[in-house]
């Protein structure tokens, strides 16, 4: 994950304020909830990255029949 994507994801978290350099400038009224929401965003993004990376491997081996 590049820094631009990380900053964009962080900025999508309600209450979290991030400047252009990635420095957090505010965390809203509930810092614990804000931090958990940030972690959730990064976990979701990581899952998508892994799924995309493995997609080509699964395409080569269609008989694997991988399910959720």
Please list the residues that pair with 17 across neighbouring strands: 26
Q: How far is CA 15 from each of CA 53, 54, 66, rounded to the nearest angstrom? A: 31, 34, 38
pLDDT of res. 54:
79
- Residue 68 to residue 17: CA distance in whole angstroms: 35
- The whole-model pTM stands at 0.68
Q: Which domain holds residue 19?
A: 3-64
11: its two tokens: 């900025």
Number of separate domains in the chain: 1
pLDDT of res. 22:
92
Cβ burial, residue 53 (10 Å; 0-12/13-18/19+): exposed
- Residue 6 to residue 29: CA distance in whole angstroms: 22
Q: pLDDT of 23-63, one tens digit each?
A: 999 999 999 999 999 999 988 888 887 877 777 777 887 77
């Amino acid at each position: 994950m590049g820094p631009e994507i990380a900053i964009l994801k962080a900025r999508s978290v309600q209450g979290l304020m991030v400047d252009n350099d990635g420095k957090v400038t505010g965390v809203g009224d509930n810092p614990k909830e804000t931090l958990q929401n940030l972690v959730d965003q990064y976990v979701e993004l990581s899952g998508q990255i892994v799924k995309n990376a493995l997609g080509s491997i699964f395409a080569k081996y269609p008989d694997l029949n991988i399910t959720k």
